[in-house]
Amino acid sequence: MRLGEADARRRLAAYDHGVLATVHPVRGVDAVPVAYAVDGDLVGIPVDTVKPKTSGPLQRERNLAADPRAALLVDHWDPADWTRLWWVRAQLRWAGTGPAAEETALAEALERRYPQYHDRPFARVLVFRLRSVTGWSGQVP
């Protein structure tokens, strides 16, 4: 059954990881697993410093500079009970170098949400504006 917007937003905010899809100018969709935090109509995705980077900005950042559209997909899978399946897709738009207060608020949300981010081991937070949220569930909520 199709989820209402309020339920889809609740599931998005409550879940702890998802898949971020950006648009590569040649390959098309680039999808990577990410941790994230939601603050109202903002979604923050950290750029970790704990994993070594060899080539400057991440490919997702280069993709976003060329096309600011993105999607975040979260899903729940239960192989024993398919009535418990659900997914939520958030349509996002990268805010670029938006207000520092937004990035700070999302960094704080990431700190609260993930013990691993307590010392902010990320270089920056990619800030996205939430454009729309849709979802589906195998059971009536």
Q: What is the pLDDT of residues 67-80, one digit of tens each?
A: 999 999 999 988 99
**What's residue 97's pLDDT?**
74
The domain tally of the chain equals 1
CATH number for 124: 2.30.110.10
**What's residue 56's pLDDT?**
72
Q: Where would I find the beta strands (DSSP E) of 6-121?
A: 18-24, 28-34, 37-39, 42-48, 69-76, 86-94
Q: What is the pLDDT of residues 20-43, one digit of tens each?
A: 999 999 999 999 999 999 999 999
**What's residue 122's pLDDT?**
84
Which residues of the chain are under the pLDDT cut of 50? none
Residue 50 structural domain = 5-137
